[in-house]
Structure 1
Amino acid sequence: MQTLTAKFRTLEFGEAKTYLVALLFVLGNIALPQLCHTLRMGGPTWLPIYFFTLVAAYKYGWRAGLLTAILLKSAVLALVAGWTAARFRRVSLLLLAGVVLVYQTIGTLGEWALAGDLSTAMQDFRLGIPGMLLQIFGGRAIIGVMNRNRYAR
């Protein structure tokens, strides 16, 4: 399994680039779900609303990820991905799989506590396996491309 030594940049709340990056990733978090929802069960299957939050937090830190987050699980994802990237300073399929598993587990417990229905809270684990795999493999690919692009540094 190949590990990519990534060029990470933790953006601060006081930097204009933080808000520009967040805006671009929020647009992605709006556009990708719209595209996926044109397919039957596309949203629950592909989990598109989390994809750009994962990339933003992993590449630019928890602050950029949190600004990109839309839902409870997105906020948890931003924090977990940002911490993982800062802690390990590299990206691999194993690390991304760990990020996805941790945020899905914590988010599911939070949704269960809020909704009071375990079956509804477990929906991503029942239907969203393709989306989780997209986050892992697609996230790794996008972060790799961003590392080679001088404008994304």
Structure 2
Amino acid sequence: METTVKLYTLGYSRVKTYVTALLFVAGNIVLPQLFHLVPQGGVTWLPIYFFTLVGAYKYGWKAGLLTAVLSPLLNSWWFGMPAPAVLPAILLKSVLLAVGAGLVAARFQKVTLPLLLAVVLFYQLAGTLGEWALSGSLFTALQDFRIGIPGMLLQVVGGYWVIRKI
């Protein structure tokens, strides 16, 4: 299933980049709060990554990178989630997601389910290796693959739908 959509590459010198990133950061604040109403909702649905994927794919890695860094930091500061102990791993995965999504979108200039799946697998696999190095625990590093498959699927299918609609 392939859809050609208008994709953008916003630069840091444009106000639109910061406004766009702030809108996606807001989404990455609200969505996790909703999912955290359900037991294990955060670790199952991985909501803090959703709008980072959408923002980076649709508006470029620079807007995505702002979203990727600000979302976990503000969520942790305001709500205590993610917990400060796991913040480095979350930030690593968020940054990998933003850069990966932005580069794939720029390279292929289209959105497809396989491309989004490749982006999600890239950030999860590379992020798992980084989290393993940070935590020293392979079991902890594999948590997203043990629990978060529904969230990864939501990112791919939901992200595809949202990217096409905005």
TM range (shorter): over 0.9
Identity within the alignment, %:
64
- Name the TM-score, length of structure 2 as normaliser: 0.86
- Runs of 4+ displaced beyond 2 Å: none
Q: Which structure 2 residues correspond to residues 103-118 of structure 1 after superposition, within 5 A?
A: 103-118=123-138
Instruction: Name the residue aligned to 2:103.
Output: 83
The answer for the alignment partner of 1:41 in structure 2 is 40
**Superposition pairs of residues 107-146 of structure 1, within 5 angstroms:** 107-146=127-166
Report the counterpart of residue 85 of structure 2 in structure 1: none
In the alignment, is residue 7 of structure 1 matched against residue 6 of structure 2? Answer: yes
Structure 1 length-normalised TM: 0.94
> How far apart, CA to CA, are the structure 2 residues paired with 1:28 and 1:109?
27
Segments of structure 1 that go 5 or more residues without pairing to the other structure are 147-153
The structural deviation recorded for 1:72 is 1.3
Over the residues paired in the alignment, what is the CA RMSD in angstroms?
A: 0.5
Deviations 1:84-119 (A, max 9, x none): 000000000000000000000011111111111110
- Which segment drifts farther, 79-88 or 64-73? 64-73
Instruction: Report how many residues are paired.
Output: 145
